Amino acid sequence: MATYRVTPALYRVLLTVKHVAFRSRWCIIASRTQFSTVYDPSEKTFDKILIANRGEIACRVIKTCKKMGIKTVAVHSDVDCSAVHVKMADEAVCVGPAPTSKSYLNTDAIMEAIRKTGAQAVHPGYGFLSENKEFARRLAAEGVTFIGPDTHAIQAMGDKIESKLIAKNAKVNTIPGFDGVVKDVDEAVRIAREIGYPVMIKASAGGGGKGMRIACNDEETREGFRFSSQEAASSFGDDRLLIEKFIDNPRHIEIQVLADKHGNALWLNERECSIQRRNQKVVEEAPSTFLDPETRRAMGEQAVSLAKAVQYSSAGTVEFLVDSTRNFYFLEMNTRLQVEHPITECITGLDLVQEMIRVAKGYSLHYKQADIPINGWAIESRVYAEDPYKSFGLPSIGRLSQYQEPLGLPAVRVDSGIQEGSEISIYYDPMISKLVTYGSTRAEALQRMEEALDNYVIRGVTHNIPLLREIIVHPLFVKGDISTKFLTEVYPDGFKGHQLTDAERRELLATAACVFVAEQLRSQKFVGNLRVSTAQQVQKRWELSLKLDKGIYAVTVSRSGLTYTVELDGKRLDVTSEWNLASALLPVTINGTQRTMQCLSRDASGDMSLQYLGTVYKVQVLSKLAAELSRHMPEKVPEDTSSILRSPMPGTVVTVSVKPGDEICLFSGGSIITLRPWELPVVTSALGKHLRRKIDCLNQRFHPQQSKRCISKF
Amino acid sequence: MAALTSVRSCSRLITGFNAGYRSLIRGSGLPGASARPRLQLQPRWYAVSYFSVQERIENKRKAALVGGGQKRIEAQHKRGKLTARERVDLLLDSGTFVEYDTFVEHRCSDFGMEADQNKFPGDSVVTGQGRINGRLVYVFSQDFTVFGGSLSGAHAQKICKIMDQALLVGAPVIGLNDSGGARIQEGVESLAGYADIFLRNVKASGVVPQISLIMGPCAGGAVYSPALTDFTFMVKDTSYLFITGPDVVKSVTNEDVTQEELGGAKTHTAVSGVAHRAFENDIDALLTLREFFNFLPLSNKDSAPVIESQDPSERLVPGLDTIVPFESTKAYDMLDIVRGIVDEREFFEIMPNYAKNIVVGFARMNGRTVGIVGNQPKVASGCLDINSSVKGARFVRFCDAFNIPIITFVDVPGFLPGTAQEYGGIIRHGAKLLFAFAEATVPKITVITRKAYGGAYDVMSSKHLRGDVNYAWPSAEVAVMGAKGAVQIIFRGKENQAEAEAEYVEKFANPFPAAVRGFVDDIIQPSTTRMRICRDLEVLASKQQNNPWKKHANIPL
C-alpha cells in the first residue's frame, strides 16, 4: 500500500482545490488562497464543535471546522430551522423559540445541546454568549472548551472601568478621565470640570452607543448624567457611569491581537472602522490610510502588552480612538472574534477561526510578529436590511425574493448566512452579509467594491447598498480623510441617495430608453405564430419621452444589432448589452464604459425602477404619442400623511412620550414613541401640531409593509 | 354670383349635395366666398360632382376625426379622459388602424335630430381593426363627444359589423366603453341595437376573446355587453358601471350613494367582482391592455401564444425550498411561489382585489402563456368560499376555452363553513369551480404545496378530475381534514388526544398517502418546480382530449 506524504507545498495545492469546491461562497483572492494558514492534519484539535450562534458568523465558523475535519453542531431557534447555518452543520439542535433570550441566549438549552451531541468545544461567534463569563464558567465546569479567552479576561475587559485601570497599568494610553464610578450628579459636574469640557458620560457596562452622552457644560452634564444612568439601568441593569474627555473628530482604529496560552501574543495590524452610524460600524478597511508604521507599531505593542497583562488567549481586539495628530487612546477590548475580522484575514492571510480553535486546544502560535504581513488592502461593507434614507439605516424586514451574491467577480469574499428565500425577521440582527473586496492597492480594492456592490442582487427587503456605494466613492473617503462623524458631516440633512451629474443622468436615461425599446421589440417576437402580420416592418427608430423626477427628456433611439444609439440633450450615446430582460443584472456598455445596472421593475405603463450607482431611480418611459396625451391625465392627489404617524419599521411600541394637548415639537427631534426591538424613536413630520387624541398603542406591534402601520392620527 | 347659382341649380340633381356643401363650408372653416373660385374652375356638372365628391369625402373624413367638435374634445380632456380616436391610436400599433364606417350617420328624424348640425360622420363610435404587437384585433371605441357616446341604431350596427368580422376571421374584440347610454331620441331602435350587440357577444363567447375597457360611464342596459365579455377592466375615478344611477337608487330604496360608491372602479374590483382590474388612467389602461393582449390567443382555434423567452426553463428556484413555513397554521404568500416559478417573475393578476383567498392570472412558462390558479394562504387561510369559487371557475373556463394550460397551486384547508356561506349557496357556487376544472381539457398541472383537505382537494384540479401531472411538495398534506378535527372523530373519547394527533400527523399529514395511491405523480423538491412544469408543458403541448358530444354542458349557474 502506497503512502503519500503530504508536504506543505502539496497541501497548499490540495487546499486550493478544496477552496474551488467552496467557490460558491468563498472566492479565491487574486489566484492566492484565502488564508495562508495551512491546516496540519496531524495536529489534533477537537472532534466536534458546537457553534452557539446563528447567521453568517455561524456559517463562517463551520467553514473553517469543515476545513479542519471537525464535525459541527448548529443550534437554532424554531424560526431558524431551515437557516443556512443549520443546513451547513453536521448536526443541529433547536434551543427554543424565536426571541433570542429564549433560544440563542438560553444557556440551559445550549448546555443540554452540548451534552446531547457530545460537542467538545463551543465557538460563541460574536454577540449572544461570546462575552458572557457565566456561560464560559458553566462550560469549564462541564469540561467543555470555550473557544475564546479565559473567564478572567472576559470579566476584566468586559467592565469599562476595570479595563481602563488595567490598561493604564499596562502602559496603554488611555483617555484622560475619572477612573471610577461617578456617584451622583454633583460629582459628575466636578469631575467634568476637572477633566475639561467637552466630556463623555457613558455607562460602565455599555456598548453599542447606548447610555452615552456628550456634555459641553455643567447643565448638559447634569442632564446627560440623568439620561445615561436611566438608559444604562434599563438596558444593562447597571446604572454605573464614568466620565472621560471627549475626543473631537476621532478615528476609530482597532488592533487585532492573537494570543496563545503560552504567553505568546501577536498584533495582526489594524482595522479602520471610523465610518459609523449611531456608533455601529458600516464600512471598515485594513490597513488604515492614517497610520504610519511607527504609530502602527506603537499601537500594536500596547495592544499586545494589554493582552499579556490579562493573560489573554485567543483572538481579541483592542479598540483605540485616534485624534488628528495620531495620538491614540485605549477605548476598550473586545474579547471575541469581531464582525470585521475578514479584512484582517485578507491582508495577513491568517484564518482567525482556525487559530482560535488551535489556541483553545492549547497549541502555541506558529508565527512570530515578524511573520505578520500587510498584503494589499481589504475593505468590508456591511450590507444590512435597512432603509438608508431614514437616519442612515432603519431596520427593514422581509423575505429575500431574489438574492445573488457578486461571487463571479475576482477578489470578492461574501460572508453571509442567508440565501434566496430567507426571511429577515425582527428577532435578529438585520445584517444580510459582509461584503469584502481585496486588492493589491486601496484603489483596486475600492474599484472592486464598486463593482461588487453594483452586481449584488437583493430583492424583497430594503437594503443599504445605496449608502455603501456612495461612501466608497466619496472624495473624502477615497482620500482617507474620515472620522467617526463622517456620515453626519457629509450628509447633514440625512442621506438622500446619489446625486446624478448631467453625464450620469444621460447614461441612466439612455439605458432606460434602451430597456424600453428592447422590451417593445421582444413583445413582438412570437414564436411560430403564423398569424402575426408579415407586412409590418421592424421599427428602426423610436421617439420617446422620459420622465425622471420632475424633468422631461426627449430621446430618440435607433438600433443596429445589440447596439442602440441614443440621442439625448444633443449628445449621442451608444449603448450595448445582451439585453437579457430576464436577468436581475443589466450589464451595459455606454460609449465604451462598462456599467452594471439593475432593473428592479418595469411595467406596461412605462414605469421603470433602475438601480444605477447604487441608488434606485424611478424613470417613466413613454412613446412620444403617449407622452403627449399624458398631459390630459389628471394628477392624482396623494393622501395627506402629515398628521398620520406611521411605523417606519416593524416593532412593538414600548414608550409613548406625548400626551393629548401636547405640541409635537422638535424636542428630542419630534420623537413620539419608541419601538422595540431596536429601541429607536419614531419621529413625525407633523411638527407644531397638537396631539388631539391619546396615542393608545402601547405594546402593540406594527409593520410598515402590512396594513397595520398607522400608529395614530392627530 | 350668377355662375355659382347655375352650379347650384345643376348640383341639385345630386342628392345630398346640399348638406355636403354646407358641411364643406363648415368643415373647412372657410368663408363661403373663398370656396367659390374653385367651383367656378369646372363649369361642367359631372366634373363639379367629381370634385365635390372628392372634397366631400375629404371633409367628411376631416369632420369624423374631430367627432363632436373641438369644444367637446377639450371638455373630454378636462375630465381627464382621452378621445375615442386618441384611445385607439394608443392601443394599436402606430399606423395599423383601419377604420370602418366613417360615413355612417344616425338615421333618427325625430326631435330635430335630422338637422345637419346633429349629424356627425361615423356617429358616436369609432370602429375598425388594427394590430397589437403585430396581431390582429377588432376595436370599437365609443365617442363621448358625440351625443355623450349614446348608442344609436347606427352606432350598434357599426359595432355589430366588426364583431361579425372578428368572428369570421377569428380575432379578438376590444371595446372601449364611454357612453351615456341609449340614444333616447331613437327609442326602441337603440334598444334593438343593444340586443344585437348582446347576441353577438354571446355568439363570440368562447370563440374569440372579448375584452371591455370601461373608460367613462356605462349604465343601464349597456352594462350587459361588458358583463358578457371575457374581461372587464375599468379606469379609476373616471369610469362607472351600474344598472341604475344614484338618483333612481335614492327614489327606490332611499339609499344615499355616490356614483363612485355605487359603480366606481373600486366597488367593482373589490366588492362586486364585476370588473377584473382597474387602472390609474386612460394611458395606463391602454398600455397595460396591450401587455395583457399578448397573453391571449387570437381565437379558440389558435394555441396559446409563445413569446421568445430569456428566462431559462431549467432555472432552479432555491427560495421555494424554504417558503412553506414549518408550522402548518402559518401563512405565506402564494404570489411568492407564482412569481418565483413563472418567466421573469411576471404575473398578470386577474381580480387582485376580489376574493383574495384565491389567486388567478396569466403568466408565461418558457415563453408560453399559462393560466395560474392558486389558493392564497395569506387570506382566510386560502379556503374556498362563494366568491373565490366563482372567480376561479370563470378563469378556468376562459383558459379552457382558449387553449391556455392551467397550473394550479393547492394549499386549501377546505370550504369556508358558516350560515352566510350555506345560505349564499356555497354548494351551488363551489360546484362551479369543480365543474370548470373537471370539464377542462387543456393541459392541467397541479402542485400541492401544503394542505389539500377534504372536498376542496378534489376540486383543485386533482388527479381524479383528469389532472395531467399532479405534484406534491414534501410539505404537502393530502387528507380528509386537519389532524385536530380528525382525531376528535376517529379517537372520540380517547384519553390521550395529543398522542392520537401525533399518530394522525405521522400517518396522514404528509404526501405519502396520496403518493402510494398514485394520486400525485411525484413528490418533488420545491426548487425544481419550474423546471418540472416547463418540461411537462412541452410534453403536454400535443395533448388531445374531448368531452362527449353535447349541445352544451349545464354548469350549475
Q: What is the pLDDT of residues A272-281, one digit of tens each?
A: 999 998 888 9
Sign of CA dihedral A601, A602, A603, A605: positive
Strands B240-242 and A551-560: unpaired
- % of chain A residues with pLDDT over 90: 60
State how far the Cα of B315 lies from the Cα of B324, in Å rounded to an integer.
Answer: 20
Strands (E), A385-467: 386-387, 394-395, 398-399, 402-404, 412-416, 423-424, 431-439, 457-459
State how far the Cα of A427 lies from the Cα of A441, in Å rounded to an integer.
Answer: 39
Cell numbers 404528509 correspond to B510
Cβ within 8 Å of A, B 324-353: 326, 336, 339-340, 343-345
State how far the Cα of B6 lies from the Cα of A167, in Å rounded to an integer.
Answer: 120
Q: What is the pLDDT of residues B139-153, one digit of tens each?
A: 999 999 999 999 999
State how far the Cα of B88 lies from the Cα of B126, in Å rounded to an integer.
Answer: 8
In this structure, the number of other CB atoms found within 10 A of the CB of residue A709 comes to 16
More confident residue, A708 or A55: A55
Average pLDDT, stretch B378-383? 92
| pLDDT range class, residue B31, cuts 50, 70, 90 | very low
State how far the Cα of A388 lies from the Cα of A393, in Å rounded to an integer.
Answer: 4
Mean pLDDT, chain A, as a whole number? 85
Residues in chain B closer than 8 A to A605 (CB atoms)? 279-280, 283-284, 287-288
pLDDT at B15: 38
Cell numbers 375584452 correspond to B211
Residues in chain B closer than 8 A to A401 (CB atoms)? 319, 336, 339-340, 345
Average pLDDT, stretch B8-21? 40
Judge whether B445 and B405 are in contact, CB under 8 Å. yes
pLDDT at A242: 81
DSSP, residue by residue, A278-306: TTEEEEEEES-SS--HHHHHHHHHHHHHH
Of the partner residues A403, A533, A580, the one whose CB lies closest to the CB of residue B310 = A580
Residues in chain B closer than 8 A to A606 (CB atoms)? 287
Inspect the interface and report whether the beta carbons of B135 and A81 lie closer than 8 Å: no
More confident residue, A331 or A249: A331
- Give per-residue burial for B78-87: e unless 16+ CB within 10 Å, then b: eebbbbbbbb
The C-alpha cell at B551 is: 349541445
More confident residue, B472 or A536: B472
Asked about A32 being catalytic, the answer comes back as: no
Average pLDDT, stretch A622-637? 91
State how far the Cα of A669 lies from the Cα of B124, in Å rounded to an integer.
Answer: 60
Read off the DSSP letter of residue B36.
Answer: H
The C-alpha cell at B531 is: 423546471
Average pLDDT, stretch A501-526? 94
- Give per-residue burial for A116-139: e unless 16+ CB within 10 Å, then b: ebebbbbbbbebbbbbbbebbebb
| pLDDT range class, residue A3, cuts 50, 70, 90 | very low
pLDDT at A683: 54
Bond preceding residue B226 cis, omega within 30 of 0: no
> Residue B386, SS3?
helix
Would you say residue A454 has pLDDT above 90?
yes
Cell numbers 473624502 correspond to A476
Give the pTM: 0.85
More confident residue, A676 or B156: B156
- Quote the radius of gyration of chain B (alpha carbons, Å): 29
- % of chain B residues with pLDDT over 90: 78
| Catalytic (active-site) positions of B | 220-221, 455-456
> Residue A182, SS3?
coil
State how far the Cα of A171 lies from the Cα of A634, in Å rounded to an integer.
Answer: 73
| pLDDT range class, residue A11, cuts 50, 70, 90 | very low
Would you say residue B3 has pLDDT above 70?
no
Inspect the interface and report whether the beta carbons of B308 and A527 lie closer than 8 Å: yes
pLDDT at B1: 42
Q: What is the pLDDT of residues B62-117, one digit of tens each?
A: 999 999 999 999 999 999 999 999 999 999 999 999 999 999 999 888 888 888 88
pLDDT at A195: 83
Inspect the interface and report whether the beta carbons of A82 and B322 lie closer than 8 Å: yes
Average pLDDT, stretch A571-576? 96
- Quote the radius of gyration of chain A (alpha carbons, Å): 28
Strands B231-235 and B277-279: parallel
Would you say residue A566 has pLDDT above 70?
yes
Residue B506 CB partners (closer than 8 Å, separation 6+): none
The C-alpha cell at B470 is: 399532479
Q: Which helix (H) or strand (E) holds A512?
A: helix A502-522
Would you say residue B418 has pLDDT above 50?
yes
Describe chain B by its helix, strand, coil percentages, rounded to 5. Answer: 45, 15, 35
Residue among A61, A137, A153, A71 nearest A337 (CA): A61
| pLDDT range class, residue A84, cuts 50, 70, 90 | very high
pLDDT at A435: 97
Read off the DSSP letter of residue B272.
Answer: I
**Chain B residue with minimum CA distance to A624:** B90
| pLDDT range class, residue A162, cuts 50, 70, 90 | confident
State how far the Cα of A227 lies from the Cα of A223, in Å rounded to an integer.
Answer: 6
Judge whether A616 and A635 are in contact, CB under 8 Å. no
Would you say residue A138 has pLDDT above 90?
yes
Residue A301 CB partners (closer than 8 Å, separation 6+): A267
| pLDDT range class, residue A664, cuts 50, 70, 90 | low
Judge whether A404 and A584 are in contact, CB under 8 Å. yes
> Residue B424, SS3?
helix
Cell numbers 461588487 correspond to A452
Judge whether A225 and A219 are in contact, CB under 8 Å. no
Strands A710-713 and A701-702: unpaired
Average pLDDT, stretch B16-32? 41
Q: What is the pLDDT of residues B331-375, one digit of tens each?
A: 999 999 999 999 999 999 999 999 999 999 999 999 999 999 999
Cell numbers 379517537 correspond to B491
pLDDT at A32: 39
**Which is the catalytic residue, given A54, A240, A336, A448?**
A336
B133 phi/psi in degrees, rounded to 5: 50, 40
Inspect the interface and report whether the beta carbons of B307 and A399 lie closer than 8 Å: no
Of A7-16, A53-62, A564-573, B356-365, least confident by mean pLDDT is A7-16
Of A209-223, A323-337, B60-74, B400-414, least confident by mean pLDDT is A209-223
> Residue A2, SS3?
coil
Would you say residue A389 has pLDDT above 60?
yes
Cβ within 8 Å of A, B 309-328: 309-312, 317-323, 326
Average pLDDT, stretch A117-134? 93
Residue type for A340, please?
E
Shortest Cα distance, chain A CAs vs residue B521, angstroms: 26
pLDDT at B19: 40
State how far the Cα of B349 lies from the Cα of B330, in Å rounded to an integer.
Answer: 24
State how far the Cα of B214 lies from the Cα of B349, in Å rounded to an integer.
Answer: 18
Of the partner residues B283, B292, B321, the one whose CB lies closest to the CB of residue A421 = B321
Inspect the interface and report whether the beta carbons of A536 and B290 lie closer than 8 Å: no
Would you say residue A187 has pLDDT above 60?
yes
Would you say residue A421 has pLDDT above 80?
yes
pLDDT at B21: 40
Q: What is the pLDDT of residues A489-506, one digit of tens each?
A: 999 999 999 999 999 999
Inspect the interface and report whether the beta carbons of B90 and A582 lie closer than 8 Å: no
Inspect the interface and report whether the beta carbons of B135 and A629 lie closer than 8 Å: no
pLDDT at A43: 85
Does B280 touch chain A if contact means CB atoms closer than 8 Å?
Answer: yes
Judge whether A332 and A157 are in contact, CB under 8 Å. yes
Would you say residue B249 has pLDDT above 70?
yes
Judge whether B241 and B267 are in contact, CB under 8 Å. no
> Residue A490, SS3?
helix
Residues in chain B closer than 8 A to A420 (CB atoms)? 317-319
**Widest Cα–Cα separation across chain A:** 92
State how far the Cα of B263 lies from the Cα of B464, in Å rounded to an integer.
Answer: 41
More confident residue, B490 or A32: B490
B interface test, pick of A404, A530, A539, A629 with most B CB neighbours within 10 Å: A629
Alpha carbon separation from A276 to A282, A333, A475, A486, B404 (Å, rounded): 5, 18, 17, 8, 55
Calculate helix-pair angle for A352-361, A341-348, nearest 10 degrees: 90
Average pLDDT, stretch A376-392? 93
pLDDT at B35: 44
Q: What is the pLDDT of residues B289-344, one digit of tens each?
A: 999 999 999 999 999 999 988 999 999 999 999 999 888 888 999 999 999 999 99
| pLDDT range class, residue B48, cuts 50, 70, 90 | low
Average pLDDT, stretch B456-470? 96
pLDDT at B486: 82
State how far the Cα of B496 lies from the Cα of B499, in Å rounded to an integer.
Answer: 6
In this structure, the number of other CB atoms found within 10 A of the CB of residue B398 comes to 21
pLDDT at A218: 87
Residue B207 CB partners (closer than 8 Å, separation 6+): B167, B170, B299, B300
pLDDT at A649: 65
The C-alpha cell at A249 is: 473628530
Q: What is the pLDDT of residues B201-235, one digit of tens each?
A: 999 999 999 999 999 999 988 999 999 999 999 99
Judging by beta carbons within 10 Å of its beta carbon (0-12, 13-18, 19+), is residue B137 exposed, middle or buried? buried
